[in-house]
């Protein structure tokens, strides 16, 4: 360990992606990378190259199935969907045909065709605005490397013989699982983000993780000693003794805090007068189910379905949606899962449906208005949710309601879908609860009437606050006046709770306000 003192201490800043403090020697994970120019080999026998590609593809699929089994054996089903999605990508007949066509057209090797086609696909994802979809580029790059390694007969060494901080340019979900969990102290990578699959897994496994895009994996050596701070993003290379002592103390304190928090989180939240308070998670992706379970949430209070739709070349089929909602329901059963229908428009656009620019998109063609104007698209989603309701405690949530008519029209569509499913003898929960978001002033003022039409309310404090106060919370000039504690907002929240209680309807509340500990006594006091 003396090497850590013989070199100059270097302090750098990265992006924290998984909380915790990691302290230890470095393990450089550097799978062999091949440049496209090195693969530009002309081949004579195209059919033989097709077979070579198919063998490699099947080999990678077998690797993924094996990794999935390892993951399932050690961590349950919380990460299996990640490997399922990678297998589905490699099984895509369109992708297979694209690579075969590239081989036939150029007479280049299968490795060259794989590198070219998958590099183009990853570049497409990198250009997307949505963080989650942009980070799917890393999954594609990972599969590219796996296929090239299989084609060239290259194997990857995951052997860790002692505890270390793993330093890499990029980590895939498979990499994360195949290291010996007992020896991983933390991850430091050049690429990735908070929604990358490897990061989601690191959080699920409680492994500290930091990303730094300065190419540290090429600078840090095997003899270096490292501290990474998954809270602040600090990276300390070869720390001084006083720095080391400081972070060892922080690490110890955090472990004590985490242990205490885990004990508390496992308990029911009950007030002194016996009222149970449910704490539900808001999630956007199926891969976040592990975090829901890890933190002892009572269920999912809002599953945002926009991620199923946006940044795609084609709309998701009913079957694609059904598989996602079904897995969500199964993995969390018997806990409740509230699936919100698509809230598109505003800052979330759907390719092919949102080309016309709107002067005020947040006040325009969005959410329930968009859905009711596109009944076929809406019914496809409703069918998928209803079918998934046979596999768990599912509820439907309607966003951006501002009139009774919107609720009535949606309930008519739901009834139509129910009749269709009955005729098709498809199982579903006939008593599937239907709720609405209270996030417009109009809905908040109509809660007495709306309470007679639905099964539950969910108060969306972010939108409700900005619409009541006529303040765009993303506009720096006026954001300082954005305040959910404003009496006008609090009065509408209180009125909503009173109207719901009168009809014995459950009420949940989401948004930034729900995450403020000081707001909890106020909200409990409101009922």
Q: Residues with catalytic annotation? A: 197, 510
Q: Single out the residue of 105, 11, 111, 102 nearest to residue 53, CA to CA.
A: 111
User: According to the 3-state scheme, what is the secondary structure of 440-454?
Assistant: CHHHHHCHHHHCCCC
Q: Is the peptide bond before 61 cis (omega within 30 degrees of 0)?
A: no
Q: How far apart are CA 188 and CA 170, in angstroms?
A: 9
Which residue reads 């907002």 in tokens? 489
Which residues pair with residue 462 across a beta bridge?
none
Strands (E) located in 169-298? 184-189, 209-211, 225-229, 234-237, 281-283
Q: Are 300 and 334 in contact (CB under 8 A)?
A: no
Total number of residues shown for the chain: 527
Q: Are 308 and 340 in contact (CB under 8 A)?
A: no
Phi-psi region of 240 (alpha: psi -120 to 50; beta: other; left: phi over 0): beta
- The H or E element spanning position 47 is helix 46-75
Q: Are 157 and 146 in contact (CB under 8 A)?
A: no
Cα dist from 418 to 111, 174, 217, 316, 397, whole Å: 50, 41, 55, 21, 17
Q: Are 379 and 417 in contact (CB under 8 A)?
A: yes
Secondary structure class of 196 (helix, strand, coil):
coil
Q: What contacts 6, CB < 8 A, 6 or more positions away?
A: 238
Which residue reads 């270390």 in tokens? 164
Q: Single out the residue of 439, 414, 435, 138 nearest to residue 303, CA to CA.
A: 435
Q: What is the largest CA-CA distance in the chain?
A: 81
Q: How far apart are CA 242 and CA 430, in angstroms?
A: 64
Beta-strand pair 209-211/15-18: antiparallel
């Amino acid at each position: 360990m003396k090497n850590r003192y013989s070199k100059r201490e270097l302090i750098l800043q990265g992006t924290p992606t998984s909380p915790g403090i990691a302290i230890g020697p470095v393990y450089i994970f550097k799978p062999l990378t091949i440049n496209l120019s090195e693969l530009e080999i002309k081949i004579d026998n195209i059919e033989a190259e097709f077979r070579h590609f198919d063998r490699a593809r099947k080999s990678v699929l077998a690797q993924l199935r094996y990794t999935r089994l390892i993951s399932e054996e050690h961590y349950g089903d919380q990460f299996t969907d990640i490997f399922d999605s990678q297998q589905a990508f490699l099984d895509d007949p369109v992708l297979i045909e694209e690579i075969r066509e590239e081989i036939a057209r150029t007479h280049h090797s299968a490795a060259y065709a794989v590198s070219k086609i998958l590099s183009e696909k990853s570049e497409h994802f990198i250009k997307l605005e949505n963080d989650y979809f942009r980070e799917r580029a890393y999954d594609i790059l990972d599969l590219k490397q796996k296929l090239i390694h299989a084609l060239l007969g290259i194997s990857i060494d995951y052997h860790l013989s002692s505890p270390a901080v793993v330093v890499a340019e990029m980590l895939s979900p498979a990499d994360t699982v195949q290291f010996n969990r007992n020896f991983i102290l933390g991850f430091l990578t050049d690429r990735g983000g908070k929604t990358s699959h490897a990061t989601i897994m690191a959080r699920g496994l409680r492994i500290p993780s930091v990303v730094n895009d300065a190419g540290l994996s090429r600078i840090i050596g095997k003899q270096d000693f490292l501290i990474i701070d998954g809270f602040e993003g600090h990276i300390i290379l070869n720390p001084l003794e006083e720095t080391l002592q400081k972070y060892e103390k922080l690490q110890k304190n955090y472990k004590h805090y985490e242990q205490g928090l885990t004990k508390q989180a496992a308990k029911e939240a009950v007030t002194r007068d016996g009222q149970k308070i449910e704490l539900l998670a808001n999630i956007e992706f199926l891969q976040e189910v592990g975090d829901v379970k890890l933190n002892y949430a009572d269920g999912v209070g809002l599953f945002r379905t926009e991620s199923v739709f946006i940044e795609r070349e084609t709309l998701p089929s009913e079957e694609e949606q059904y598989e996602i909602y079904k897995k969500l329901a199964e993995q969390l059963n018997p806990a409740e899962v509230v699936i919100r229908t698509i809230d598109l428009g505003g800052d979330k656009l759907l390719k092919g449906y949102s080309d016309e620019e709107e002067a005020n998109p947040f006040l325009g063609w969005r959410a329930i208005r968009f859905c009711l104007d596109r009944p076929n698209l809406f019914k496809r989603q409703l069918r998928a949710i209803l079918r998934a309701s046979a596999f768990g405690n599912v509820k439907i949530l309607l966003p951006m309601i501002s009139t009774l008519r919107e609720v009535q029209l949606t309930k008519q569509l739901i009834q139509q879908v129910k009749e269709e499913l009955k005729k098709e003898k498809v199982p579903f929960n006939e008593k599937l609860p239907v709720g609405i978001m209270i996030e417009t002033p109009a809905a908040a003022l109509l809660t007495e009437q709306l309470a007679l039409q639905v099964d539950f309310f969910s108060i969306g404090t972010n939108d409700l606050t900005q619409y009541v106060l006529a303040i765009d919370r993303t506009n720096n000039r006026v954001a300082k006046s954005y305040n959910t504690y404003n009496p006008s907002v609090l009065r509408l929240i209180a009125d909503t709770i009173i109207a719901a209680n009168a009809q014995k309807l459950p009420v949940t509340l989401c948004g930034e306000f729900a995450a403020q500990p000081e707001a909890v006594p106020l909200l409990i006091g409101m009922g």
